[in-house]
């Protein structure tokens, strides 16, 4: 799957249903029928929506961990806590389960943001706060992560 593009402001109804933005739905059209996995993010209080193929690729890596090491077993348990299979209905809506709505503090206004090969779902206020908090350090972070002169990968 190619990289997803876009950040969209959306609304969630009282039942936790989210209408996928048309531009995002179009990008996801090749994988819509396969379903998705929705989970808690590791580092932020948002949700991550994985196309099933991306989830299976990630799980193949996780499955290689030695489960006879306690830290690996603990990681797997925590990483997969609250994981749900999600279908997009005929009208382009997906239902965010109640426990995940609570985890991400999702209210009516949300932000749906591409994160390379997955989608993050944020409460709008929390998203704005996360972006604002990261602004100060982003230049340093960008230099540290992407500014390595010794790697020739064609990105500049």
Residue ranges per structural domain of the chain: 7-146
Query: How many CB atoms sit inside 10 A of residue 112's CB?
Result: 21
> For the residues of 3-68, what is the DSSP string, one character each?
PP--EEEEEB-TT-EEEPPHHHHHHHTTTGGG-EEEEE-SSSSSEEEEEHHHHHHHHHHHTTS-TT
CATH superfamily of 7-146: Transcriptional regulator MraZ domain (3.40.1550.20)
Place of tokens 């989970």: 39
User: What pLDDT score does 82 carry?
Assistant: 87
pLDDT tens string 72-100: 999 999 999 889 999 999 888 999 999 99
User: What pLDDT score does 131 carry?
Assistant: 84
User: What pLDDT score does 130 carry?
Assistant: 87
pLDDT tens string 62-77: 999 999 999 999 999 9
pLDDT tens string 105-146: 999 999 999 998 999 999 999 999 888 876 667 777 777 878
Is residue 121 classed exposed, middle or buried when 0-12, 13-18 and 19+ CB atoms within 10 A define those classes? buried
Residues 28-57: what's their mean pLDDT?
Answer: 93
User: What pLDDT score does 35 carry?
Assistant: 92
């Amino acid at each position: 799957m190619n990289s997803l593009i876009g950040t969209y402001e959306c609304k969630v109804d009282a039942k936790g249903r989210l209408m996928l933005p048309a531009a995002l739905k179009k990008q996801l059209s090749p994988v819509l029928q396969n379903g998705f996995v929705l989970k808690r993010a590791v580092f932020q209080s948002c949700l991550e929506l994985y196309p099933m193929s991306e989830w299976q690729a990630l799980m193949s890596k996780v499955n290689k961990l030695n489960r006879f090491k306690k830290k690996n077993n603990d990681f797997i348990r925590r990483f997969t806590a609250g994981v749900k299979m999600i279908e997009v209905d005929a009208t382009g809506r997906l239902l965010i389960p109640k426990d995940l709505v609570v985890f991400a503090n999702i209210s009516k206004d949300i932000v749906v943001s591409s994160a390379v090969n997955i989608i993050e779902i944020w409460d709008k206020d929390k998203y704005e706060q996360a972006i604002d908090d990261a602004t100060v350090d982003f230049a340093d972070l960008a230099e540290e992560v992407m500014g390595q002169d010794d790697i020739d990968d064609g990105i500049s």
